[in-house]
Amino acid sequence: MNNKFKDVKFMTAKEKELVLKNWIRFIETLVSNPGKDKPDLFSKFTKRLYEHLHLHCSFIAHYDRYGFYTTYFDDPVYTIKFIQQFDSDLGCKSVEYGFNWWQDGDFADLNQAMCIAIDEHKKTLYEKLRNSEKENDVNAAKGLANKWGYVLKEVR
């Protein structure tokens, strides 16, 4: 990594490098399997990454690491919203607060690097997540139809 991070009061440049390394590993794992069966994704959502996201990226804690994870990564609709916060084409606006102030201050170098790191993956991520969302919706529709004795015909 060729980032020039600076030490700040609550995080050294080395710690910032480690957060970015965790972030990249997490995103690459998400790209490889964005659907429901994410066997290794939670293990890549490290405590270090979680702490940075809720302390320095304008996310609320959602009670704990697991609560944050289930909020954003159990349903592809919310995973898309999460990814959109780091999408420079969308202005990197906080999904929870609607502003991009999290891109300024002591952690701007790291937060901007996180946005840059996601750029090469976002097209694939959006495509896979939307396909997963569609599959979930279709399965839910089939389940409801079956519940009431109907059969849905597949039309393409």
> pLDDT tens for residues 16-49?
999 999 999 999 999 987 665 566 899 999 999 9
User: What's the pTM value of the predicted model, to 2 decimals?
Assistant: 0.90
pLDDT at residue 131 greater than cutoff 80: yes
Q: What is the pLDDT of residue 59?
A: 95
Q: What is the pLDDT of residue 37?
A: 59
Tokens standing for 8? 């700040």
Tokens standing for 41? 């994704």
| Ranges of each domain in the chain | 13-147
3 state DSSP class of 138: helix
Cα(73)–Cα(35) distance, integer angstroms: 9
> pLDDT tens for residues 75-123?
999 999 999 999 999 999 999 999 999 999 999 999 999 999 999 999 9
Cα(135)–Cα(156) distance, integer angstroms: 14
Cα(21)–Cα(14) distance, integer angstroms: 11
Cα(68)–Cα(54) distance, integer angstroms: 9
Cα(105)–Cα(59) distance, integer angstroms: 16
What interhelical angle do 47-56 and 65-73 show, nearest 10?
80
Q: What is the pLDDT of residue 27?
A: 96
Q: What is the pLDDT of residue 156?
A: 74
DSSP string, 3-54: -----BTTB-HHHHHHHHHHHHHHHHHHHH--SS--TTHHHHS-HHHHHHHH
In this structure, are residues 31 and 125 in contact, taking their beta carbons and an 8 Å threshold?
A: yes
What Å distances lie between residue 43 and 50, 56, 69, 129, CA to CA?
11, 21, 11, 20
Cα(76)–Cα(39) distance, integer angstroms: 15
Q: What is the pLDDT of residue 152?
A: 86
